[in-house]
Chain A
Amino acid sequence: MIDFIQSLGRWGIDTLQRLGRGHLFLWYMVRGIPEVMLRFSLVIQQLHSVGVMSVMIILVSGLFVGMVLGLQGYNTLVDFGAEESLGVLVALSLVRELGPVVSALLFAGRAGSALTAEIGLMKSTEQLSGMEMMAVDPIRRIIGPRFVAGIISMPLLAAIFSAVGIFGGFVVGYGLLGVDDGAFWSQMQVKTDWYDDVLNGVIKSVVFGIVVTWIALFEGYDAAPTSEGVGRATTRTVVHSAFAILGLDFVLTALMFGGI
């Protein structure tokens, strides 16, 4: 019993310490952002490896998610003779929910894990220490540009995901199931609100971008400098990001659409 309480206490202290380190790390990153912006070429390099390299997985997944939405939506709507509203259903599902959430989950798996492994390996091969001793702050030189690139990439990737998904829904709805294309697009145009739907979707994906990139970079920076430590950190990035995305999605949805 005493052992159990002891281990519970240790777990609690460890978790609190990690949380503290994580938030300090976030503060250091945020404090370095003005300096990072002055050397934007570093951010552009990272936009390529974090953002552009994730485009393919986003394109393919977005297309299939949109096509499935088209099929499932049609099957439900047709019973009520409302299949012409398919465009609205596909667009709102994607812009409000699936776009930001699924693209953030994919982003955590593709870019987040890569960031953690990269930073973790740089730490275990003493590259970060070496940089500190060269009087170059790794948080500003290495971490900061990746953080900014993650925040910029995430909403753009979510937008690509939603756009491709809507196209996928259209291909299935119009091409396969014979929904009227005029109704598909015009209903979507009328029913999708810039502020309520698009802007809220963008806010969600910016928040997810901040959180996923923060988790990925912190896990790499805090990883035990061994191959096992880096492996565990990479797994934690994906798992913690998934929890954070889904939990925050509920909170944000409640705030935006829950009438709270």
Chain B
Amino acid sequence: MPLIKIRDLHFYRGDRAIFDGVNIDIQRGKITAIMGPSGTGKTTLLRLIGGQLRPDSGTIEVDGQNVHKLSHAGLYELRKRMGMLFQSGALLTDISVFDNVAFPLREHTDLPESMIRDLVLMKLQAVGLRNARNLMPAELSGGMARRVALARAVTLDPMMVMYDEPFTGQDPISMGTIVNLIHRLNDAMGLTSIVVSHDVRETTEIADIIYLLSAGKVIESGSPVQLKRSSSQWVQQFIQGLPDGPVPFHYPGTEFADDLLSPEVPA
């Protein structure tokens, strides 16, 4: 049974359909990637799974529980078993790296401070930032902030971690570090990982299953190898990063020649 079951998901922003009947299964223990061009609602999907947004119709079940039918307390109980890595890191800026990673433990457990220290150091060791524990978030580079956030996301030993665009804006070294970390943590901690991204190379490297989203629908899904062999022109354009194809280079509208010949004068 999949850990997350999304069925017939519809979500609108104003009149625009972000999701128009999406079905996704996230298998336990696997790294599932959700890919698609910018603005297809990949981050929105994570927020729907985390219960921060409500769908207009359809259901999202996490570990057998319908996220949007849970009470406030039930939802918060479920979230303790979910980790999320935000694109910005979302570290608390007025406390140190150590306190950021210790934050969920101090909020949710009555562990003595000495044990919290050991646990936090273990998590920071896993992301290679044990010696940066006294720095403030403002003193970290983007890549380091994301690693601290990753350590914080797994502090409570969750069953799953959601990664929101983990590779965006990283230099090649920190990109490699994060790719490696997602893979290692998933295997070592027995996690289920959901990676939302549009970085094709890095994502295909670690994902077990990829769902390609566009215009509110799942266009294609399968293993990276299956996707590379897909006969769909749209999939090929996306995977190979071609500038023109089913997704046109030009914003849709009138033809260029018609525009030049039209008597329209800018207002």
Which chain A residues have a beta carbon within 8 Å of chain B's beta carbons? 125-127, 129-137, 141
For A141, the chain B residues whose CB sits under 8 A away are: 107
Q: Is the CB of A125 within 8 A of B88?
A: yes
Q: Is the CB of A130 within 8 A of B86?
A: yes
Q: Is the CB of A135 within 8 A of B90?
A: no
CA–CA, A136 to B106, complex, Å? 11
For A135, the chain B residues whose CB sits under 8 A away are: 76-77, 79-80, 104, 107-108
CA–CA, A127 to B184, complex, Å? 26
Question: Chain B binding site: helix, strand, loop or mixed by DSSP?
Answer: mixed
CA–CA, A135 to B103, complex, Å? 11
A-B contact pairs, 27 of them (CB 8 A): A125-B88, A125-B90, A125-B93, A126-B86, A126-B90, A127-B91, A129-B47, A129-B52, A129-B86, A130-B84, A130-B86, A130-B90, A130-B92, A130-B149, A132-B50, A133-B52, A133-B82, A133-B83, A133-B86, A134-B79, A134-B103, A135-B79, A135-B107, A135-B108, A136-B108, A137-B76, A141-B107
CA–CA, A132 to B107, complex, Å? 12
Interface size of B as a range: 20 to 34
For A129, the chain B residues whose CB sits under 8 A away are: 47, 52, 86, 90
> Please, which residue of chain B has its CB at the minimum distance from the CB of A118?
B94
> Please, which residue of chain B has its CB at the minimum distance from the CB of A128?
B90
* A132 touching B79 in the complex, CB below 8 Å, given contacts A125-B88, A126-B86: yes
Q: How far is the CB of B89 from chain A (nearest CB, A)?
A: 8
Identify which of residues 156-172 in chain B touch chain A, using a CB-to-CB cut-off of 8 Å.
Answer: 156
For A131, the chain B residues whose CB sits under 8 A away are: 92
CA–CA, A129 to B52, complex, Å? 8
CA–CA, A126 to B47, complex, Å? 12
Q: Is the CB of B84 within 8 A of A127?
A: no
For A132, the chain B residues whose CB sits under 8 A away are: 50, 52, 79
CA–CA, A133 to B52, complex, Å? 8
CA–CA, A134 to B93, complex, Å? 16
Q: How far is the CB of B258 from chain A (nearest CB, A)?
A: 31
CA–CA, A218 to B152, complex, Å? 28
> Please, which residue of chain B has its CB at the minimum distance from the CB of A125?
B88
For B152, the chain A residues whose CB sits under 8 A away are: 134
* A127 touching B79 in the complex, CB below 8 Å, given contacts A136-B104, A141-B107: no
Q: How far is the CB of A31 from chain B (nearest CB, A)?
A: 10
Q: Mark B170-207, 1 if CB is under 8 A from A, else 0.
A: 00000000000000000000000000000000000000
For A136, the chain B residues whose CB sits under 8 A away are: 103-104, 107-108
For B149, the chain A residues whose CB sits under 8 A away are: 130
The winner among B77, B107, B152 for most chain A CB atoms within 10 A is B107
CA–CA, A126 to B88, complex, Å? 7
* A127 touching B80 in the complex, CB below 8 Å, given contacts A133-B52, A134-B107, A141-B107: no
Q: How far is the CB of B178 from chain A (nearest CB, A)?
A: 18
CA–CA, A215 to B252, complex, Å? 44
Q: How far is the CB of B96 from chain A (nearest CB, A)?
A: 15
Q: Is the CB of B92 within 8 A of A127?
A: yes
CA–CA, A135 to B93, complex, Å? 18
CA–CA, A132 to B84, complex, Å? 10
> Please, which residue of chain A has its CB at the minimum distance from the CB of B104?
A134
For B107, the chain A residues whose CB sits under 8 A away are: 134-136, 141
Q: Is the CB of A133 within 8 A of B50?
A: yes
Contacts A127-B93, A130-B84, A133-B79 known; list 6 others, CB within 8 Å.
Answer: A125-B88, A130-B91, A131-B92, A133-B50, A135-B77, A141-B107
> Please, which residue of chain A has its CB at the minimum distance from the CB of B46?
A133
> Please, which residue of chain A has its CB at the minimum distance from the CB of B92?
A127
Q: How far is the CB of B169 from chain A (nearest CB, A)?
A: 15
> Please, which residue of chain B has its CB at the minimum distance from the CB of A134?
B104
Q: How far is the CB of A115 from chain B (nearest CB, A)?
A: 14
> Please, which residue of chain B has its CB at the minimum distance from the CB of A126?
B90
CA–CA, A131 to B153, complex, Å? 11
For B91, the chain A residues whose CB sits under 8 A away are: 127, 130
Q: How far is the CB of A24 from chain B (nearest CB, A)?
A: 13
For A133, the chain B residues whose CB sits under 8 A away are: 50, 52, 79, 82-84, 86
Identify which of residues 20-77 in chain B touch chain A, using a CB-to-CB cut-off of 8 Å.
Answer: 47, 50, 52, 76-77
